[in-house]
Structure 1
């Protein structure tokens, strides 16, 4: 199928539909995989799910209609707001024959994602509440106590001058900081969108702290798809042709094009992988060793599982870092507020 036509179909489908919540997506994929394991065909499984998932009956009917109109099942999932990455994995799995396993994996991935979101909310909600409260206190101090602080303190101290200036112009300072952050993000997004998908991936991989997530994910995704395709009997060249022709993700097309071009120019696969900055370095050695022992498929499969484990562990680690950092910021703000409130008393004590 032509990639441009596929994009148009997905765009048309997405515009006319409401997105499902992650919980609904998880249940849907889990149940359809269970039905397929029991011997149901995909169309029969979807019709049976209309009975099991009464609230989603009309949405499932839309998927059935799209499939009857010639769209694939993964493509039709854009209808429900499934992510492009998940759809691409399902699209490939229908080619290399691990469709049920991929459905189960995607269901588990969504379930893990839900847990991480809940964990993030649980960790962040109280510190964010305190941060908002501290900000309101600064506004209240500025509104009601600033005149008293000005009249009762000496302006000889640089600290006093700074605090009075900060309180006097706190709204403007806050607005300027937020505006600068917004402008930086806006300019970055404009510049980012002008880049090719390949260059976008390189940029994401370079983001401090979070760039590692993209590198882990891209390595996991490509090693997993190569592994399953090799284990299904496809050659490297057949896999590259499949990636160039099938996916809805332009990054996959560009990576496949680079692989094809470099292989035709005489370079070997490990060397090419080394030149792609958003792949982990170990992937080169896994491919080299796998080719040497004629076990490339199974080694890439095991390696992809390890990359996925590392990715989840790092996300978990950084989420757990968030709360202490937020509390540290809040603590500094509260100490500053306490210092501001004590300033008139300290000035009076000096004058005694």
Structure 2
């Protein structure tokens, strides 16, 4: 059964080792997925939903989407919300069976992949935005306007939608061993080629290309910051946090997907290998889910401007004597920020992060 295009863990009691064409008993995989996957999905929903809603609330209330950075943050939060909102369906499915019908099977599967790819693509776009804002800050041809943000966002959503189309087309409900399931089927009957193409798409579009973009952009940003004597170490620490977090949460899963492709090519064989890969895929894929809970912290809550807006939202002024005085301080800060342009890479990054 193809599990590379939606959350893994929906194995039946038997699968097959295609090298020997012998049935492999998958009870251990099935029991482990029913135990820990619904709990993990529930925790991701618990922490990912309020964090991303809060980002949307602050951006729409105070930022007015006046620049490309705000638009990127908005779309990243929307991507994570789309992803998180698909998880309650998968949590119930993993613990029981699919009861939501054929249409929702296709739609929820497509939403899962749309949020999955959307989040990764907008993380890449944020890296590109910071690269142009800092490395090419003095170039008049590199203005990051609202229009540029809208065009870039539409392009990212279009790519994510194309990547999600197979789920919308080739996913359906089936009854296996008396249990209704929702999973993708193989077009044309070529199981091995189809699954390898899916894995290749996940590895390249969902990991390798974003990683190359992040490494290129943030390496050049760090070089500029190190040349600037007034640059702060905090900005560099934030950059390393972003890159290392991406590597920690996405690298293990993509390595496992590569090993799964070797299993499909019969380079890795045997029922024991199949069971170990399936369980490892469940674990590493679940680790990637946590990233949507951390995105609001890494890309929004660490920002000085965002923290200032967050204090205003909850009427919790820090280091202020009384509300009237704090209101005046916030108004003054808004005015100063509105008339000040990022004259240097350090000024921009310190305000952003």
Which TM-score applies when normalising by structure 2?
Answer: 0.35
Q: Scaled by the length of structure 1, what TM-score is found?
A: 0.35
Which has the higher relative contact order, 1 or 2, with Cα contacts under 8 A spaced 6 or more apart? 2
- The structure richer in strand per residue is 2
